[in-house]
Structure 1
């Protein structure tokens, strides 16, 4: 779902527009932190019914908090722990309809009810993850997953 004041097309059309806007924002910029900051701000502005969106970057064997929009968050997450760490370990997207039912979920914000985590992978190397939380259960569906994975593919070309 997208914030109604910004987009009026179908969900798919809205995602395509956000991906196009992200590409324009990143064009010519090579700074990883700046690009991740703009990506999180763009997603926060246009996705509705979310309470946190941001990035964790891989450092050694843990994910370290990067640019984000939302309340203060967990700073370090071991690979393999929680939704973010599990997505990083498996190097695959994890969509959780009810975070309280996810074994080992790390509760950084008690308001979060559902979550989607998309790994940032470039040339088969894990860079980090995109984490988006919602205060509603079952917020993220297959369409969200497909287009957020596409958005991440665009983004990884502008970070290292």
Structure 2
């Protein structure tokens, strides 16, 4: 398997800048051989992806938002680790989905995050995961992703 930086280049994916915290926390913290991130929402160059999934946002768009959020979380993890190539794999991912009443496809939305991590890390990107439906997220974000990475 190639280095994460090489896989990102092959995929044509650039990690975004690490988002500045909007509260009393840090984006990621390194402890021993792991880095754990704070929840990262889907900020893009065009702004924040917002709305309730299942009413205002369809599953496909929400998967894209989960992908963006995962890349934002990976950027935070890489920053705390001293660079993306220090990240050897992904241990756990939690995906929070702002869900319309009755929406039950949180796991399908979470695949947007899981799939991009597998694209980057191959077998080392396979991880345990929770997909959680919530009523609302900060800024009306459609999804939020946090992860634990292995160094």
TM-score normalised over the length of structure 1? 0.28
Q: Which has the higher contact order (CA 8 A, sep 6+)?
A: 2
